[in-house]
Structure 1
Amino acid sequence: MTAAVHFLHAIDTEGPLYETLEASFERLDELFGIAHLPRTRDTLRQLQEGSIDLGGKQDEIRQLLRGHRINYMDNWPKVDAMLDRVMDPEFRQSRPDSFGQGWVYNWFCLDHVEFRVNPRRRAMGYHAIHDHYLQRIAEQPDCPDEIQWHFHPMSTYREAHRCATSFVNSPHLHETLARRIIERGFFPSVFRAGFQTERPDSNLFLEQWLPFDISNTALDPRQAWTDSIDLRNGRSGDWRRARHDWTPYHPHHDNYQLEGGCRRWIGRALNLMNRFANLEYFEIEKAFAQAAEGRPALVGMASHDFRDLGPEVEEVRDMIDRARRAYPDVPYRFCRATEAFQRTLDLPIDETPPLDLSLDLDAAPADDVPNLTVRTLAGKVFGPQPFLAIETRGQRFIHDNFDFDTEDGTWFYAFHSDTLPFDDVRRIGVGSNDALGRTCVKTLDIAP
């Protein structure tokens, strides 16, 4: 029986990006080792033309410097002008899917915080980007888009234009999610890794709370991997051992690229008009062929919001139109991120109650310290515990572990000298998902 192809457009939503001529050459040197070239506009033009002999690197560099890839939008007015075009209902609906749905964007929002160096003029501050896209969605009636979570691990020298690999070394990791819960009533269900890079620490972190991950950029053997310096020997974006069809998989406990017994699902997303791991027509055709065989396909497409999304969407539409002619009986759907996983995996959304939690605070027990009890009222928490977030009176945002009951579905937290004195607590929140990607967020304000 024919299945469907589900398209998930995942935008690494990072806000404006500024790059000087000097910074462009610094990036080229870091990627390809060409420090010997004069850093002039004439040299840049010659590199774009491919007219400088670089020992076989010139074509890849020329592709990198194509107009679309280097024309960054360096301020919010430019980004918003682009969003006005691509979020317009007429643009969305110009080529609807098999069910009449127009194009859907999934905004995986990043926080640039705790950085000391910001040469690319990144939008700084907790929620700065998240709130911008919340507002954009709110301005459009019946907007189909979804907001999810993107994260850049902290570099050694706290540079906002760099993305490291260690969650453990990232001081803003827990505060980002704690603030989302308490200040915005939000908790993600789908994740995209910074530079598509995961490691054992992030694998285990995600396994605790997030059921869906759209970071896999494994290449089909028909595609060649780039030889740029930043991608050698698994330095970034390493999915060489992951599956390269359009079916999500459960990762292995020790290696996120291998299939194993973890709870969460990892889906595959290839880049649009980027310098590596690009989505090509044969991949779209592969997805339609998979669906024609009765196996639903989840096609992830990755972009950045500091580039013009219009040409990228049109390129995919052209490839879809071509595949439709080859597979006229295969339906396809533009999806929100959570929906794409739910539909592809045929999760029993209508057969199980959504997750619901209760928060009961005993602020002055007769024979105990103040304590919080979290109970599962309906559904089941994904992972071992909800994510606990606490805001102090001094506006620090803290994450901590719960204590466990002897039965599943109940957790405790005691406020005392080994954790946090209750008189320093301003707000408490918990965020969690169930295995089907349905989210529950609850918060408590503590009386002054």
Structure 2
Amino acid sequence: MKELFLVHCVDTEGPLYESLTATFERIRQTFGLNFKPSTNQLNRLKAGKDVPEALRANVMDFVSDARLDYNATWTEVDAMLHELMSDDWRMRHADDFGNGYVFSWFVMDHVGFTTNPRQRALGFHAVYEHYQQILSEYTPEHDALYWHFHPVPFSHAANRASCNYSFTNCHIESIGRRLLDHLDFPSAFRPGLHCERPDIHLFLEMWIPVDFGNQAMPERAEDAIQKDVSGGRFGDWRRAKSTWGVYHPDWYDYQKPGGMKRYIARCLNLNARIRPITREEIERAFRQVRNGEPTILSVTSHDQNKMGAPITRYMDLIRDVQKQYPEVRIRHANAVDAVRRVCGVPEQSPVRFDIAWTGNRVDVRADKDIWGPQPWMSFKTLDQRYLHENMDRQDGNHWSFTFDADSIPLGSLEAIAFATNDNYFNSSAYRIPIVDGKPGEPESSFRNHKE
């Protein structure tokens, strides 16, 4: 039986508010059109008035109700989730194996910002803990929480964009805090603004096996005239594979297949103004499966937007296309399981660490090969700082670290954590409490493992 795997990646960022003035500012930035903000003028733009013919369709789409109907508060987000999390809604969009709809929640920390005009949920874990609670309440069998991040712009404004992860260490602290506070280490990633550059490209290779960033597709005329995204400024995947495939990237160009380990999957936008999923792209995915190619059809959207109706239209379109390919069955999956299945990744048990202390030195030994060159190591200090450090590799799967005045004394710490993924994308996390400068018994957590 031939199967097409469906993955829905949600860039999980929480509520988004946009004022009328901010909407008109985005119109100016995107199209170079200046209008005095007013509800009447917005309605005129929705009707295609006062706009050059060449821009009319784009502007009408840009200001349409579907684009501007944000979930502006947690109350609105939760009302949407109450529907999407229900068994009834999920089973309305069931796959051909009786499984309900599956979401992969790529969760962001809005951190490093000093201004917040869109009223985002700022702070470490502000979004993550909300979704932890949602998933514990509804207990969807296959949904999973992964990592999403937007690098901090030079302005430190939460409504501005950047592709520069090297400007701050906020992304490092985001991972470290999630590990230390929740024993969670990510195995999959979605880039903010779909944007990867050499810094995050090399960083991901060390730690995170699965990357749903690739948005390769020919640039449409309507994309090229939108100044904020044209020419590869954000989400540049123009050189990457534009088929529905998974590839290992090149060291010097994340868009080219090469010798790295990371798995990059293609993922187009659902209900967005750029790089959208289309009937043609869905047909391409079905053709690939019919021709014997293991295939993931993946889309991404945001929880700040109303998600229910676009998903229904998307699934209706998939079912309509499927009529031409009766030999192909569709299967819902989360991001990690889909890549495992499509790429034939051999199943493994998670890494187990043996953690031993000799005075102020800790030795960490893994019972098998880990994903990257070393385990992730983070500390939480008594004055509530979260720090990341490298380890000393001794041999094979054995690393050590010495706590002293040249690094950090054990007496200044509240907890230490180690984590890794493996080649099957299992994540292993260990946390060791430090009491009066002495290490306690470690806690551990293993995720993505099939019992």
TM over 0.5: yes
AA partner of residue 420 (structure 1): I
State the alpha-carbon separation in 1 of the partners of residues 224 and 87 from structure 2. 37
* Superposition deviation, residue 295 in structure 1: 0.9
Superposed, which structure 2 residues align to 1:42-441 within 5 Å?
A: 42-54=40-52, 56-220=54-218, 225-349=223-347, 352-362=348-358, 364=359, 370-377=360-367, 379-405=368-394, 407-441=395-429
Contact 1:3 1:295 in 2 (8 A): no
* Superposition deviation, residue 3 in structure 1: 3.4
Contact 2:151 2:161 in 1 (8 A): yes
Mean Cα displacement is larger for which, 145-154 or 431-440? 431-440
Contact 1:390 1:427 in 2 (8 A): yes
State the alpha-carbon separation in 2 of the partners of residues 223 and 94 from structure 1. 36
Moved over 6 A (4+): 221-224
Contact 2:224 2:231 in 1 (8 A): no
Contact 2:5 2:297 in 1 (8 A): yes
AA partner of residue 174 (structure 1): I
Instruction: Name the SS of the counterpart of 1:50 in structure 2.
Output: coil
Closer/same/farther in 2, CA of residues 409 and 258 from structure 1, 3 Å limit: same
What is the number of residues matched between the two proteins? 436
State the alpha-carbon separation in 1 of the partners of residues 375 and 209 from structure 2. 13
Contact 1:219 1:225 in 2 (8 A): no
State the alpha-carbon separation in 1 of the partners of residues 374 and 308 from structure 2. 41
Report Cα offsets for 1:347-396 as digits up to 9, x if no partner.
111xx33322232233x3xxxxx11111112x321111111111111110
* Superposition deviation, residue 27 in structure 1: 1.2
* Superposition deviation, residue 289 in structure 1: 0.8
Contact 2:349 2:426 in 1 (8 A): no
Query: Hey, what does 1:26 align to over in structure 2?
Result: 25
Instruction: Name the SS of the counterpart of 1:29 in structure 2.
Output: helix
AA partner of residue 355 (structure 1): V
AA partner of residue 261 (structure 1): G
Query: Hey, what does 1:444 align to over in structure 2?
Result: 432
Query: Hey, what does 1:367 align to over in structure 2?
Result: none
Instruction: Name the SS of the counterpart of 1:446 in structure 2.
Output: strand
* Superposition deviation, residue 417 in structure 1: 2.0
* Superposition deviation, residue 141 in structure 1: 3.7
* Superposition deviation, residue 144 in structure 1: 2.5
Between 1 and 2, higher relative CO (CA 8 Å, sep ≥ 6) is seen in 1
Contact 2:146 2:189 in 1 (8 A): yes
Report Cα offsets for 1:160-196 as digits up to 9, x if no partner.
1222111111231111111111100001101000000
AA partner of residue 391 (structure 1): K
Contact 2:370 2:420 in 1 (8 A): yes
State the alpha-carbon separation in 2 of the partners of residues 441 and 199 from structure 1. 28
Return 5+ residue gaps in structure 2 as ranges: 437-451
Contact 1:3 1:293 in 2 (8 A): no
State the alpha-carbon separation in 1 of the partners of residues 387 and 251 from structure 2. 27
Instruction: Name the SS of the counterpart of 1:122 in structure 2.
Output: coil
State the alpha-carbon separation in 2 of the partners of residues 355 and 323 from structure 1. 42
Closer/same/farther in 2, CA of residues 381 and 224 from structure 1, 3 Å limit: farther
Query: Hey, what does 2:11 align to over in structure 1?
Result: 12
* Superposition deviation, residue 220 in structure 1: 4.7
Contact 2:417 2:431 in 1 (8 A): yes
Closer/same/farther in 2, CA of residues 221 and 64 from structure 1, 3 Å limit: closer
State the alpha-carbon separation in 2 of the partners of residues 6 and 357 from structure 1. 33
Q: TM-score, normalised by structure 1?
A: 0.95
State the alpha-carbon separation in 2 of the partners of residues 33 and 293 from structure 1. 45
Instruction: Name the SS of the counterpart of 1:306 in structure 2.
Output: coil
Instruction: Name the SS of the counterpart of 2:264 in structure 1.
Output: strand
* Superposition deviation, residue 142 in structure 1: 4.3
Instruction: Name the SS of the counterpart of 1:373 in structure 2.
Output: strand
> What's the C-alpha RMSD, in Å, of the aligned pairs?
1.4
* Superposition deviation, residue 245 in structure 1: 0.8
Mean Cα displacement is larger for which, 226-235 or 88-97? 226-235
State the alpha-carbon separation in 2 of the partners of residues 235 and 141 from structure 1. 39
Contact 2:152 2:168 in 1 (8 A): yes
Instruction: Name the SS of the counterpart of 2:340 in structure 1.
Output: helix
Return 5+ residue gaps in structure 1 as ranges: 365-369
